[in-house]
Structure 1
């Protein structure tokens, strides 16, 4: 149903039929195994196996991206160096960030329950570009919003708006008596302010990225961490920590939705167009 059983997904070579697709993480070609008949290898399971070669009109093979793919051979040692600047995944990651920056910010704001202003989003993008975040080995086309935040240092929460009655809001009320978050911004947000003339030392970040494969499905998680800064030499005080399961399918559906372009945030798109100075790929 997805391919129509047509070329380039269906290939007839020397009267032997093979079916191909594209790896969702590294964008390399994969061969579909066990679609119509089980073998000793498949044991009645259908799965995709990386194909080390280009399938014309479908996918161009990239060895560098294959080596660092979570879905490739687990026995292969992954490189700790940055991706090559010519990496297909790296360049497509930067392309998506440029043309979908408003949706990236929308998604991470929603998952963290923190409103990311345009000025903060611009600072975060500058940091991401300085860190060459799109070249990091962990970065893929699916986890762009979360790895974008992880490339940034912890961000002060003072003066920012958080979602009213969210888990984050409730934990701050419970554990931070010196923080005033009673100021409303409509019905959705409250503002983090100081109480009793105290100084608010709360910071938030995303950290501890993890990934695992379960039943041939990649699961990616990252921790949202809110902590209170302490005098130098003392351990930081954790206020709230939560594991976030990356909604990669939701992100992909979001950026592929062209029916609601009227709701795009042009201010954020102006920021990404200004800072990401290259011609975005369209393929």
Structure 2
């Protein structure tokens, strides 16, 4: 892996090996906490945490020259006292271990759920940033009513308890976990985005909207836009590449049971660290209407209330 962190906190910033002062910043963070430096198999090893699974990792190429670029590798079976114990379950589900997989909507064991409440809390506190990033990353103009649907579904589906849910993919999991997707009718789409180009290819009737730079989808046959799969691959350079797959669906005219058929599919690349950087951004101007939605649905007891709100997001 090309970055490390120092605590199990979901919002703990990572330290990339590309940082020119990596060694100085690493030593500044660990200070006199000698547990981060251990003798393993007769060699002194400098430790940190994996940014994805929170397991201990060994730093390579900083304190001893190696034949490849500096990086970190899981330290299987090693604990960092008072920080973290090695967790085999998390290790086996870590992208840096699997290398290539689809994210799954399988829930973590009950023993892991209490820790996920921290992830749930981050989603609530930074919901406006998640909606902003999702809108920016997809080109979908997310209205307040759409934001409500995403928040309500996130709680109902307990998406923060999915095995592969992380602080990095919170915005994308809001959409990925949504059952059924969004109707395309009158959806606002930013021009020259991937979704826009696919709608043009399908010859959708796109009209200029009152929102600058956006078009809206005119009458259609009940088409839906849905996120179908979230996947990743760790390349040979240890970079984690993530994508969200989308499908455009239309009602299947051959049946009358509400079934759909896919007419197009495409993928949108995900910046894995955009959201984690955004939650630490100091000059963010809160979007209170969106935060009010999070406060309404993301309650401590995770109860859900339903209320119509069709206003556009400020």
Q: What range describes the TM-score normalised by the shorter chain of this pair? A: 0.7 to 0.9
The 8 Å contact of residues 102 and 268 in structure 1, kept in 2 or not, is answered as yes
Query: How much does 1:81 deviate?
Result: 5.0
TM-score (norm 2): 0.72
The 8 Å contact of residues 206 and 225 in structure 1, kept in 2 or not, is answered as yes
Cα pair distance change 1:156/1:125, threshold 3 Å: same
The 8 Å contact of residues 194 and 268 in structure 2, kept in 1 or not, is answered as no
The 8 Å contact of residues 232 and 242 in structure 2, kept in 1 or not, is answered as yes
C-alpha distance in 2, partners of 1:58/1:185? 52
Query: How much does 1:10 deviate?
Result: 4.7
Task: Determine whether 1:23 maps to 2:47.
Answer: no
Name 1:250's counterpart in structure 2: 274
Q: 1:210 aligns with which of 231, 256, 259?
A: 231
Listed as ranges, the matches of 1:54-69 within 5 Å are 54-56=79-81, 58-59=83-84, 61-69=86-94
Unaligned 5+ residue runs, structure 1?
none
C-alpha distance in 1, partners of 2:192/2:239? 33
Unaligned 5+ residue runs, structure 2?
1-23, 302-314
Cα pair distance change 1:64/1:98, threshold 3 Å: farther
Query: How much does 1:25 deviate?
Result: 0.6
Listed as ranges, the matches of 1:82-101 within 5 Å are 82-87=107-112, 90-101=116-127
Secondary structure, counterpart of 2:274 in structure 1: helix
Listed as ranges, the matches of 1:92-241 within 5 Å are 92-152=118-178, 153-176=180-203, 179=205, 181-194=206-219, 199-214=220-235, 215-233=237-255, 236-239=261-264, 241=265
Query: How much does 1:115 deviate?
Result: 0.9
Query: How much does 1:62 deviate?
Result: 3.9
Q: Indicate the structure whose relative CO is greater, using CA pairs within 8 Å and at least 6 residues apart.
A: 2
C-alpha distance in 1, partners of 2:62/2:194? 45
The 8 Å contact of residues 18 and 31 in structure 1, kept in 2 or not, is answered as yes
C-alpha distance in 1, partners of 2:38/2:89? 28
CA RMSD of aligned residues (A): 3.2
Listed as ranges, the matches of 1:239-278 within 5 Å are 239=264, 241-260=265-284, 263-278=285-300
C-alpha distance in 1, partners of 2:98/2:32? 27
